[in-house]
Structure 1
Amino acid sequence: MDNNDLISKKELLEITGISYGQLYRWKRKNLIPEEWFIRKSTFTGQETFFPKAKILERVNKILSMKEDLSLDDLANMLSPNPSEIVLSLDEIKKRNIVSLISLELYIKTFGEEKEFSFNSILYIYIVDEMIIAGDINLEEGKIILETLKENYNKFNGKNCDLLFVRKFGVSTCFLVSSGSEVYFEPGAKIIKRLSVAGIIEELKIKLVNGGEFNE
């Protein structure tokens, strides 16, 4: 990693206003990944550096949310792998996590499940967001659900993006590693590119906060 992409611990504390104690407490809680603490030799000896963009974004996110969530809840929400959350159909409906239209589309496509894993809820949530935004219709939602169900686990917890593309009224979607450049034939248009990691954080916040309960 280029030195310009790094920030020293001293600079980080000065810029963000956090203390040494806070930084290492967050590390112990796994709010900041161990691999982000990079030891390098300098003219003053060994110093700790961080990937600049990632650590600044993470610290700002922690600071903005720590008043509303416990450190344990934050750690669960910010972890790179999905939480071990399982909800029943009734719980999903009661907590209003997704619309009934998207939930019924999932059940129609794959059948009703006794319990919905975090990943299953994630797939429904992604489709729900796109339907509500007017990006896709129900048939296209089914294509996205099938693509996610078939391929998402192949990334083994690594960040990926969902791309939804149309050409002359024909739609398709696929998953690519986050940040990958993708090129299409003439006439193809990217309707939506979603960071699955970003959606995971959004969904975790909704789950941690309990959703919006229906009576």
Structure 2
Amino acid sequence: MEEELISKKELLELTGISYGQLYRWKRKNLVPEDWFIHKSAFTGQETFFPKQRMLARIDKIINMKDGMTLDELADMFSSVPALLSISKIELIERNIVSKISVEYAEQHIGQSDIYNFEQIMYLYLLDHCLHTGEMNLDEGKYMLRTLEEHYSKFEGRNCDLIFIRKMGVSAFFLMSAGSELYFESGAKIILRVNVNKSMEELKLKIMTL
């Protein structure tokens, strides 16, 4: 399904932000460059945006900019993993990741007293998928393996984690965010998780807890 677009004029009128604010946020990398879509219109060349993603992003910026600097917001929205480490004890005590998920992941990615952000993100995605009730613990090891083997290939680009199942057999893979997906009859998408969105949530959780 093609994503609904909103024109720059409609966006500014609907949100009440100014032209200057919009382009300042663009310069600060709060709004991705590829969200500025240039298309021909009867008035000439116009700028459009993915409507739902843009409205959600502006809402976050407006509601969070009083408590965070624009640079901090840009870092939170970035698809590049943060440069931080957190101890296993702190992860559990601050409820960033559940104890069950941490202890299960240790059986498959190894034990550690300190986790870097990328490892924390794998644990966070595992925790999220388990909490949906759509994925069981045994399937979790395949998800972790997929992330460990392939996430680095995206080099900070936004991607989706896909979980499919056919006749009780599950599979996980990563693909560029928003890409169309076609597969054989009988296979079903169980979960499709946007990794960049999960990263934003995780960064916010770490910053605010």
- TM-score, length-scaled by structure 2: 0.82
* SS of residue matched to 1:171: strand
Rg larger in 1 or in 2? Answer: 1
Match of 2:148 in 1: 149
Q: Give 1:56 deviation, angstroms.
A: 3.9
Is residue 2:38 matched to residue 1:58? no
Within 5 A, what are the aligned runs for 1:1-215? 7-8=7-8, 11-33=10-32, 49=47, 51-53=49-51, 55-210=54-209
AA matched with 1:51: F
Give unmatched runs, 5+ long, in structure 2: none
Q: Give 1:63 deviation, angstroms.
A: 1.6
* SS of residue matched to 2:160: strand
Q: Give 1:37 deviation, angstroms.
A: 6.3
- State how far apart, in whole Å, the 1-side matches of 2:112 and 2:208 are: 24
AA matched with 1:127: L
Give the number of aligned pairs: 205
AA matched with 2:198: I
Q: Give 1:65 deviation, angstroms.
A: 2.7
Is the 2:162–2:173 contact (alpha carbons within 8 Å) kept by the matching residues of 1? yes
Which shifted more, 113-122 or 47-56?
47-56
Residues 101 and 63 of structure 1: CA distance in aligned 2, closer, same or farther (over 3 Å) = same
AA matched with 2:199: I
Aligned CA-pair RMSD: 2.9
Residues 24 and 141 of structure 1: CA distance in aligned 2, closer, same or farther (over 3 Å) = same
Residues 35 and 135 of structure 1: CA distance in aligned 2, closer, same or farther (over 3 Å) = closer
Which shifted more, 157-166 or 108-117?
108-117
AA matched with 1:186: S
* SS of residue matched to 2:206: helix
AA matched with 1:177: S
- State how far apart, in whole Å, the 2-side matches of 1:77 and 1:192 are: 24
- State how far apart, in whole Å, the 2-side matches of 1:110 and 1:38 are: 41
Percent identical among aligned pairs is 51
Residues 168 and 11 of structure 1: CA distance in aligned 2, closer, same or farther (over 3 Å) = closer
Is the 2:26–2:33 contact (alpha carbons within 8 Å) kept by the matching residues of 1? yes
Is the 2:39–2:48 contact (alpha carbons within 8 Å) kept by the matching residues of 1? no
- TM-score, length-scaled by structure 1: 0.80
Residues 27 and 179 of structure 1: CA distance in aligned 2, closer, same or farther (over 3 Å) = closer
Is the 1:77–1:201 contact (alpha carbons within 8 Å) kept by the matching residues of 2? yes
Q: Give 1:20 deviation, angstroms.
A: 4.4
Is the 1:7–1:52 contact (alpha carbons within 8 Å) kept by the matching residues of 2? no
Q: Give 1:64 deviation, angstroms.
A: 3.0
- State how far apart, in whole Å, the 2-side matches of 1:207 and 1:152 are: 21
